[in-house]
Chain A
Amino acid sequence: MTPEEFTERSLLGVLVREPQRIREVGPHLAGADFANDRHATVFDIMRQHEVSLTHLANAARADGRYQSEQWATVLANGLPEFARYGIGPAYLAEVIAAAPASGGQPAVYAELVMEASIRRQITELGYEAARLSAQTPPVAELLAAQEKITTQLAAAQQRWDAITQTRDVRRTLTGEAAASDGGDRDLFGRPVLPMPTTPAPSAEEVHAAQEQVIGGILRHPGVADALLGRLESTDFLDQELGNTLDAAQQVHAHAAVTGRQVDPVTVAWALQTLPEHRGPTPPPEYLHDLAATAEPNERDHAVDLVMRSSLAKLTTTAANTTQQAASHAGMAPADVLATARTAYQSVDTAARRLTGNTATDYQLGVLDNRATPNGAPTTAELAGLRSRSTALLQQTTAAPAEPSTAPYSGIGARLNAVESSPIELEAHSDAGPGPA
């Protein structure tokens, strides 16, 4: 399904589910703007019979016949116009099922449908109506190249800075590491790193958690507000989900200007504008399903798992980088230590981004006191890995740990606080009938 078709279906889904919301669409959208003839017919009927449909919905709501399948039957039987055009209860129920679970933004969808219609007209006239990103691949390539160079320069700078502090690093290597560490030691006096107490979550578990997080972002504006600033596409194993996050961030960042809030339709639309080199993008119906199946009770656990998975991935990369540096015959100890410090600083930076605190705070288990399914500790699976990485970092580089200034209140509490605050949106949460 194309984003255009998905938008049309989502718009009709909201309108058939809640006919009174055609008012939000306004007078400027016409049936002729729909690419799909059947969609056009349903819209024209809805527009023409707006008042009687609203009465019908109110009556159905009053006598308890407003569950989606029942409502589709009431609608098909209550308005002969539908039957005249071969539109029955089954089709109307299918249309209702296409409505976004969050309530939807009919005025935004109407604008998108109108844009697509104008784009088709322009193309028919023989003119280009492509989007900006599709027209400027050289710019995208330049940006990517520039980003790569900047990263390399930053890494070189960090390495140079680290190497010029060789005296401090040597002192660390010869004396302070042993003196500052009070943990268990093996027969040779080397620190024993803690081992994970429980197995790490499987790739399937992490993927399911990532789907839950994206579903939550697509469904609940409050979740988007809370999470979009701290997650990055690289936190996701699945490129489609990572790209979805990027598109959601794009919609969220421009919401104040465009008035388009994050939901499956607006994100599917924004996915079209991502540069092609970003890789695969998910089909719109997948986004719809993610939002529809987002389970609020699972969300805290899912967010926690995604964050820990990302930190684990970074920690593993840092460990590999350090090991490779240590094995390299041409690298002096100071260089190895500088490499290790740089690698583990990236873990710490990610931890700050994800949790708002340092990796050490996170590793200490400040998240572990939250309730989780089956009573299992949420961070125990990877706490050992983080423990080991932090201990390794402290031993090898003696990097000064930045003290935490505020206790971590937990993601759940933050999300609850955000969700309980009023949100200025056109979205109507659970305004209409859900699946029967």
Chain B
Amino acid sequence: MVHAHSIPIAEMAQHLAAGDAQAVLPDGAAGPVRLRGLWWAVSAGHDRYRPVTDPAAVTVFETGLARLAAHRQHRADILAETRARRR
């Protein structure tokens, strides 16, 4: 039975490609995704995205996304600094 609030992986991949959704893991389409203010994830052994309601899981996703974003910003700053030094 298909859950009333579920999204097929392929459809979620389209949301990601269109920029409507944001994935925690940049390489992963099956990893947790934030879409329309909700977190969605595929439970082990399933093939569709469903909303995540567990607050502990949401915290892990939020923290992961924020940490990676902050690190990427740091990396960009370092690269800009290196380029400026070379000029």
Residues of chain A at the chain B interface (Cβ within 8 Å):
23-24, 26-29, 107-108, 110-111, 114-115, 118-119, 121-123, 125-132, 134-136, 258-259, 273, 422, 424, 426
Closest-CB distance, A429 to chain B (whole angstroms): 13
Closest-CB distance, A144 to chain B (whole angstroms): 18
- Residue contact A114 to B67, C-beta cutoff 8 Å: yes
Q: Which residue of B lies closest to A272 (CB)?
A: B27
Q: Which B53-81 residues have C-beta < 8 A from chain A? A: 54, 56-57, 60-61, 64, 67-68, 70-72, 74-76, 78-79
- Residue contact A122 to B13, C-beta cutoff 8 Å: no
- B-side binding surface: helix, strand, loop or mixed? helix
For A122, what are the chain B residues with a Cβ–Cβ distance below 8 Å?
24-25, 31-32, 41, 60-61, 64
A23 vs B25: C-alpha distance when bound (angstroms): 24
Q: Which residue of B lies closest to A110 (CB)?
A: B71
Q: Could you list 17 further interchain pairs (A-B, Cβ under 8 angstroms) beyond the known A114-B68, A259-B72?
A: A28-B71, A118-B67, A122-B24, A122-B64, A125-B54, A127-B43, A127-B57, A128-B42, A128-B43, A129-B32, A130-B31, A132-B13, A132-B28, A132-B30, A136-B10, A424-B86, A426-B79
Q: Which B7-22 residues have C-beta < 8 A from chain A? A: 9-10, 13
- Residue contact B28 to A130, C-beta cutoff 8 Å: yes
- Residue contact A107 to B68, C-beta cutoff 8 Å: no
- Residue contact A128 to B31, C-beta cutoff 8 Å: yes
Considering only CB atoms and an 8 Å cut-off, how many residues of chain B contact the other chain? 37
- Residue contact B64 to A121, C-beta cutoff 8 Å: yes
For A422, what are the chain B residues with a Cβ–Cβ distance below 8 Å?
86
Closest-CB distance, A21 to chain B (whole angstroms): 10
- Residue contact B86 to A29, C-beta cutoff 8 Å: no
For A28, what are the chain B residues with a Cβ–Cβ distance below 8 Å?
67, 70-71, 74
- The answer, yes or no, to whether B83 is at the interface (CB within 8 Å) is yes
Q: Which of A119, A121, A127, A134 contacts B42 (CB 8 A)?
A: A127
Closest-CB distance, B1 to chain A (whole angstroms): 19
Asked, given contacts A119-B31, A127-B44, whether A135 binds B25 with beta carbons under 8 Å apart, the answer is no
For B72, what are the chain A residues with a Cβ–Cβ distance below 8 Å?
111, 259
- Residue contact B86 to A27, C-beta cutoff 8 Å: no
- The answer, yes or no, to whether B26 is at the interface (CB within 8 Å) is yes
Q: Which residue of A lies closest to B9 (CB)?
A: A135
For B71, what are the chain A residues with a Cβ–Cβ distance below 8 Å?
26, 28-29, 107, 110-111, 114
A114 vs B70: C-alpha distance when bound (angstroms): 12
- Residue contact B30 to A129, C-beta cutoff 8 Å: yes
A123 vs B57: C-alpha distance when bound (angstroms): 11
A24 vs B82: C-alpha distance when bound (angstroms): 11
For A118, what are the chain B residues with a Cβ–Cβ distance below 8 Å?
24-25, 60, 64, 67-68
For A424, what are the chain B residues with a Cβ–Cβ distance below 8 Å?
79, 82-83, 86
For B74, what are the chain A residues with a Cβ–Cβ distance below 8 Å?
26-28, 107
- Residue contact A128 to B68, C-beta cutoff 8 Å: no
Closest-CB distance, A265 to chain B (whole angstroms): 15
A122 vs B39: C-alpha distance when bound (angstroms): 13
For A121, what are the chain B residues with a Cβ–Cβ distance below 8 Å?
60, 64
Q: Which residue of B lies closest to A424 (CB)?
A: B83
Nearest first, the 5 A-B pairs at minimum CB distance are A26-B74, A118-B64, A128-B42, A127-B41, A28-B71
- Residue contact A132 to B75, C-beta cutoff 8 Å: no
Q: Which of B27, B54, B82 contacts A132 (CB 8 A)?
A: B27
Q: Which of A27, A108, A128, A273 contacts B44 (CB 8 A)?
A: A128
A317 vs B41: C-alpha distance when bound (angstroms): 49
A152 vs B60: C-alpha distance when bound (angstroms): 49
A123 vs B41: C-alpha distance when bound (angstroms): 11
- Residue contact B44 to A126, C-beta cutoff 8 Å: yes
Closest-CB distance, B67 to chain A (whole angstroms): 5
